[in-house]
Amino acid sequence: MKAGELVMLKTSHRGKVREFIVTVREDEFHTDFGKVDLALLLEKDFGDHITAHKGQEFIIQRPRMPDFFNHAKRTGAPMMPKDIGLIIAYTGLNKNDSVLDAGTGSGILAMYLGSIAKRVLSYEVRENFADVARKNVMNAGLDNVEIRCGDIVQEISSLGESFDVVTLDTQDSKDVVPHVSGILNPGGFMVTYSPFFEQTKEIRDAMAEANFYDVRTIECTEREISFSERGTRPSTTRVGHTGFITIARA
């Protein structure tokens, strides 16, 4: 492994899995299982094991985006993977795409998009949220995601560049929609995320007025299946409604 590389240390204790994302460096990482000499990772590879000074053994894994979702610092409720999956699938996001994202929050969506797209530019109106998102992006090792602090309603007209996909997760999405066609590449997609019917209706009206086509609004609910000795049934803990995804093309 190389210095500065991100790895995940995974272990189990009393039947529960514990995970830690660390950087390969000349330092010690302190856990409740003991100290881990991170310099030893320089001689390891993914799939190898490393042992803390108290004897607890960890397997070394390459962290993936769901791991960063689980371990990233939160500034609020992030967009859930089920909704992010819809955005990626319905826009056909790929490695050649440039993305404009607004309403960064913790940076979760920008990070997922950045793990696929060529470039992501994300706007967040609150400086403290933007700072957290920048740190999350840095911890994920993504150098193609840029977080800017600013109001996308005011900034979108002066960006001076075009994008293949535009994602909006803000209260002011309806005010941004009229400007999107001017920065969207031919064949590109705009996607909005809105938690309420009323906001979604305003967005749809704005899209209709701006002559977007192939507009669809989707709600994705998720239900996990629980397995036990008593039987198999839908889990009593579930992710229900989170938001409406509206997808359109200019």
DSSP 32-72: TTEEEEGGGGGG--TT-EEE-TTS-EEEEE---HHHHHHHS
**Both tokens assigned to 75:** 């500034």
Domains of the chain, first to last: 6-61 (3.10.330.20), 68-249 (3.40.50.150)
Predicted pLDDT at 2: 87
Predicted pLDDT at 172: 96
Report field, pTM of the whole predicted structure over 0.85: yes
Where in 39-182 does DSSP place strands (E)? 49-51, 57-61, 98-102, 119-124, 145-149, 163-168
Beta carbons within 8 Å of 233's beta carbon, 6+ residues apart: 225, 226
Q: How far is CA 126 from CA 74, 129, 138, in A?
A: 14, 5, 18
Q: What is the pLDDT of residues 96-138, one digit of tens each?
A: 999 999 999 999 999 999 999 999 999 999 999 999 999 999 9
Predicted pLDDT at 238: 67
Pairing, β 213-219 against β 145-149: unpaired
Place of tokens 């992710």: 239
Predicted pLDDT at 26: 94
Q: Which of 169, 159, 156 is nearest to 102 (CA)?
A: 169
Helix, strand, coil percentages in the chain from 3-state DSSP, rounded to 5: 30, 35, 35
Average pLDDT, consecutive stretches of 10 residues, N- to C-terminus, the chain (250 residues) = 92 93 94 94 96 95 95 92 97 98 98 98 98 95 97 95 97 97 96 97 98 97 91 83 95
